[in-house]
């Protein structure tokens, strides 16, 4: 595992320490879990990002679908 230096404000450190104590864990473990969750959230395709994608497109969505399938 690689170590990384990160500046974190004292009030966030205090909150992390309290949470770590409650969870019987270390501050490092909590930070790693938070980063893992954030990365997962950023890399997942959001449902709202794909539905309605053609609403402002000048052609009919069915025509667009047929055109895309013809490329296969």
**CATH (domain of 64):** 1.10.1220
5 lies in some domain: no
pLDDT of residue 27: 95
28 lies in some domain: yes
pLDDT of residue 51: 72
Query: How many domains, in total, are found in the chain?
Result: 1
The answer to whether 32 and 23 are in contact (CB under 8 A) is no
Mean pLDDT along residues 6-34: 96
40 lies in some domain: yes
pLDDT of residue 56: 75
Instruction: Tell me which residue has tokens 């997942």.
Output: 44
31 lies in some domain: yes
pLDDT in tens, 29-66: 999 999 999 998 887 776 666 677 767 777 777 887 88
């Amino acid at each position: 595992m690689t170590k990384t230096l990160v500046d974190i404000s004292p009030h966030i450190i205090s909150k992390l320490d309290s949470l770590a104590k409650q969870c019987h864990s270390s501050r490092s473990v909590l930070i790693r879990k938070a980063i893992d969750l954030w990365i997962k959230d950023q890399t997942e395709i959001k449902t709202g990002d794909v539905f309605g994608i053609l609403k402002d497109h000048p052609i009919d969505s069915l025509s667009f679908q047929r055109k895309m399938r013809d490329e296969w």
